[in-house]
Amino acid sequence: MIVNGKTALACLTKVASLDGAQVITVEGLGTPENPHLIQEAYALSGAIQCGYCTPGMIMATKALLDEKPNPEVDDIRWALRHNLCRCTGYKKIIEAVQLAGRFVRGEVTPDAVRPKASDGYIGVSHPRPSALPKACGTVHFGADIKLEGALELAVLRSSVPHARIVSIDASEAEKMPGVAGVMRGTDVKGTGVIKFMAPDRPVICGDKVHTIGDPILVVAADTKAQAEAAVKAVKVEFEALPVVENVEASLAEGAIQIHPNLPNLVADASVVKGDAEKALADSAVMVEGRFNTQRVHMAALEPEVTLAYWEDEDEGEDALLVISGRSINIHHALGMLQEALGWENMKYIESSTGGQFGMKLDVVSEAIAGAAAIHFKRPIRYVPSLAESILMCSKRHAYDMKVKLGADAKGKITGYSIDILMDKGAYRSADIFGRSLFTVSGSYNIPNLKCRLRLAYTNNPWGAQPGARDSRRSRSPWNAPWRCWPRNSEWTRSSSDFRTR
Ligand code: FES
């Protein structure tokens, strides 16, 4: 926003400090029917993907152009330095600021650059239908929606990776101002367990936690601040269990079983073509190495906000429970929630989403909000903080890869083997481990391949495979995920072996 002519971060500015100030937000610039030139420039430049960052970007642009209508690229970078974008990247945004400058200076009009329907569709960049509403701040993300009479939630999360829950004392929390009550794992109807690929993730943990961040107890209160204050008053006693830190430890003889009804080994899959062992033994040059990659948090800017409310409430047990989350797989999400919460008449709707990246395939806040709506018989708003979002959501898996690559005397690759240990973390999600095998040779024709992948539970943050769909772009940094890195590294090493021969 712009406060007295200067940009200010709305998320960090206290309303009390704005007494008497002149404040302009993106809603004060224009509407989708009558947009400001800067809003038009962002929409026409393709600078808006999820749109969560867009109001801030536009206001920073307005402050810049008010002061300097013809900025250099460095001026633009400096003006936008406090504004983060996770989806679009900054190139298109810088182009949008440059186009806005041209509009503001009267060098060109939006009508002159806007593609027309008669221009056709192939090879023409038409603005997205959602772009102008996002540029004008009329799109509603989850936390923008207020529900009358809604309770706000705060969730007590595990600070330890593997432990038995000995006791939970919420007696103080229940007496605190504004608190409507608490909800434990035993209060969840239905199975109480999310089954994405396997029934392994409790909606609220009952007797055991499997990873840091596991939900243990939910407090519902009139305000978020009251719920958060009450959560701090809850006392939990844990009995520590051995922590399984990696796949090797998980598969070792005598390793503790993380889920009582599920083996630690989730999958053991192979792809074999030709005879890689023989090809490697016969190769003129053979290189081998071990590569490790870390878990990656995808860092969407919007946390996993969920609203849960009732329609046809008079119908009692047949009332319709509406869950507004942001999964891109709403039918799968609905099925998981119905089973876990034990409520059949349920509808899942998707609100506008501030960053997706595949990590929001998982229902992480929806089940808690839905269970709370059933338990408290009230509408629910669950707005996690960004820190809580990091604790609750899935990450890209960590890989441990042993590779061998061989080539003949002419430098032609003859064989490749890779043995992958993939760290599932505590729960299953969109594992998509098959893609790591199917695309292991990328776009190269390798006659002999031997690829094995083992996926196992650990007590680490749980994994999905965000960005996996880009796996076919063998040079993409988003490559699904990392197995192209050892292949291409070994490639480079083998070629340098040839160069030094
Ligand atoms: S478009 Fe910038 S964060 Fe999504």
The CB of 86 under 6 Å from ligand 1? The reply is yes
Q: pTM of the entire structure? A: 0.90
Look at strands 23-24 and 199-202 and give their pairing: unpaired
- At the top level of CATH, the class of 2-139 is mainly alpha
Question: What share of the chain in percent tops pLDDT 70?
Answer: 93
The CB of 145 under 6 Å from ligand 1? The reply is no
Cα–Cα distance for residue pair 99/113, rounded to 1 Å? 10
Helix (H) or strand (E) holding 90, with range, is helix 90-104
User: Which residues are 383's β-sheet partners?
Assistant: none
Q: Which of 368, 369, 371, 330 is nearest to 145 (CA)?
A: 369
Atom of ligand 1 nearest to the CA of 47: 1
* Residue 434, pLDDT score: 82
User: How far apart are the CA of 43 and the centre of ligand 1, in A?
Assistant: 13
Question: What share of the chain in percent tops pLDDT 90?
Answer: 81
The CB of 301 under 6 Å from ligand 1? The reply is yes
For the chain, which residues make up each domain, given as ranges? 2-139, 262-297+394-500
pLDDT, average across residues 29-40: 97
Mutating to test ligand 1, I would choose from 88, 356, 386 the residue with most ligand atoms within 8 A of its C-beta, which is: 88
User: How far apart are the CA of 353 and the centre of ligand 1, in A?
Assistant: 10
The CB of 370 under 6 Å from ligand 1? The reply is no
* Residue 345, pLDDT score: 96
pLDDT, average across residues 456-476: 66
Which residue lies with its CA nearest to atom 2 of ligand 1? 85
The CB of 85 under 6 Å from ligand 1? The reply is yes
Token pair in block for residue 486: 């050892």
User: How far apart are the CA of 84 and the centre of ligand 1, in A?
Assistant: 8
Atom of ligand 1 nearest to the CA of 50: 4
The CB of 83 under 6 Å from ligand 1? The reply is no
User: How far apart are the CA of 305 and the centre of ligand 1, in A?
Assistant: 16
pLDDT band at 337 (very low <50, low <70, confident <90, very high): very high
Q: With contact defined as beta carbons under 8 Å apart, do 415 and 274 qualify?
A: yes
User: How far apart are the CA of 85 and the centre of ligand 1, in A?
Assistant: 5
User: Which residues are 450's β-sheet partners?
Assistant: 272, 417
Atom of ligand 1 nearest to the CA of 354: 4
Q: For the chain, what is the mean pLDDT?
A: 91
User: How far apart are the CA of 455 and the centre of ligand 1, in A?
Assistant: 32
The CB of 53 under 6 Å from ligand 1? The reply is yes
SS3 58: helix
- In this predicted structure, the answer to whether residue 383 has a pLDDT above a threshold of 60 is yes
Q: How far is CA 223 from CA 108, 383, 420, in A?
A: 49, 11, 47
Atom of ligand 1 nearest to the CA of 300: 3
Is 239 exposed, middle or buried, given 0-12, 13-18 or 19+ CB atoms closer than 10 A? Answer: exposed
Token pair in block for residue 158: 């595990």
User: How far apart are the CA of 48 and the centre of ligand 1, in A?
Assistant: 7
User: How far apart are the CA of 38 and the centre of ligand 1, in A?
Assistant: 17
User: How far apart are the CA of 293 and the centre of ligand 1, in A?
Assistant: 26
pLDDT, average across residues 364-370: 97
Helix (H) or strand (E) holding 6, with range, is strand 6-7
User: Is the domain 262-297+394-500 a CATH 3.30.365.10 member?
Assistant: yes
pLDDT band at 185 (very low <50, low <70, confident <90, very high): very high
* Residue 484, pLDDT score: 63
